[in-house]
Amino acid sequence: MRLTPGPARDIDLDTVDLFDLDLYTSGDPHTVWDVMRAKAPLHHQVLPDGREFWSVTRYEDVCRVLGDHREFTSERGTVVTHLGVDDVAAGKLLTSTDPPRHTQVRRAIGTNLTARAVRSWEDRIRRAIVGFLEPLLDGETFDLAEQALLLPAMVTGPLLGIPERDWAELVQLTAMVTAPSDPHFQHGSEAATLAISHHELITYVTDWVRRRRATGDNDGSLLDHLLTARAGDAPLTDEEIALDGYSILLGANVTTPHTVSGTVQALIERPEQFARAQADPSLVPNLVEEGLRWTSAACNFMRYAVNDTDIGGGTIPARGAVVAWIGSANRDEFQFPDPHVFDIARTGAKRQVAFGFGAHFCIGAPLARLTLRIFFEELLQRFTAIELAGEVEHLRSYFIAGMTHLPIVAQKRRTP
């Protein structure tokens, strides 16, 4: 997705197609969202096959949709690929479950992912990132977007209890789930790609659980904690563990690579911002927040209205699907002045909602923030400049804003 929009232009919102994959691959969705926020904060679209959905694009409306499960439920599906077909895992899969069950299961995992808990992993994460950056020191072309797909697995694989031999396969499968129409990941049709990836990921976690049950092994990994998690008075079934493990794998692998690539691209295009961060390392945590706001890698989530609900100057009917556009909320000029300016010293950047909002706020946010902070600390310490070395290719997905190719060359900092 193009992260720096072109000039403002007239847009006929009656003909806008938010399901047009070309809009995200080669188009300019931010100019569309700008007009939607100003003229149609509640937008209705009917697809050619009769499916329909409503969109909210303003920051406050996005937070309301994501934050109030009594008005907007997650239990029929939360991603636009489920539009029109209720999620068969609803009520079991962590991301497709409302409180109180969602809270009960989340608590069992979340205690191991607090900011305090993940701080103890800093040294091993730093070692992984130093190893990831090593090839850049040679001064050769390095495709950051392609290589960064493996970065979360390098960081979280050991924490999840996933052996290194499986990382590449799982990264490929999670990419297939979130971008089933992208030619880099597609296997047959979009439906076939989704079916294959869902099946393989669920099978992987199911087999992992079966082996753990048989051997009694427990090394304290995040997936191991699912084996003892409870929802109310009952332990999770193996099916529920497999589904939640699948959800954790998706969350761990999907967004961080695109936040890395999109933020590096922003710094390449704005060398003065790169120089500023390098001159003042204390700005790195805010650089991370601005990068999260700027990239909004998970650019939308879906909910369903429980009852007729007034929002954005209109009404969503009961059982109507509503898409909350995070990528738009994070460029809402009423929350972020000059929203299309990338500014690593921006005041209030931490208000970004790239991790979502409310009960479903990303459980791995502390780990993601730590990983991104370490990545940019190490990048800025090792290189004096980064340049683009070829054409950028954007991910073909209306759910994940990212890139498949970002070839770069880095200039190594000379040691005194």
Neighbour count for residue 340 (Cβ, 10 Å): 14
**Per-domain boundaries in the chain:** 21-412
| Whether the predicted pLDDT of 202 surpasses 60 | yes
Q: What is the pLDDT of residues 295-343, one digit of tens each?
A: 999 999 999 999 999 999 999 999 999 999 999 999 999 999 999 999 9
Q: What is the pLDDT of residues 245-271, one digit of tens each?
A: 888 888 888 999 999 999 999 999 999
CA end-to-end span of the chain, whole Å? Answer: 40
| Measured CA angle at 95 (ends 89, 182), to 5 deg | 85
Residues contacting 323, CB < 8 A, separation 6+: 18, 53, 54, 55, 56, 80, 300, 301, 302
Nearest in space to 386 (alpha carbons), one of 261, 274, 259: 274
Nearest in space to 255 (alpha carbons), one of 290, 288, 297: 297
Q: What topology does CATH give the domain 21-412?
A: Cytochrome p450 (1.10.630)
Q: Is the pTM of this model over 0.85?
A: yes
Q: What is the mean pLDDT of the segment spanning 190-195?
A: 91
| Whether the predicted pLDDT of 4 surpasses 90 | yes
Distance of alpha carbon 85 from alpha carbon 366, whole angstroms: 33
The model's confidence at residue 87, banded by pLDDT at 50, 70 and 90, is confident
Cα torsion for 297, 298, 299, 305, to the nearest 10°?
-170
Distance of alpha carbon 52 from alpha carbon 322, whole angstroms: 9
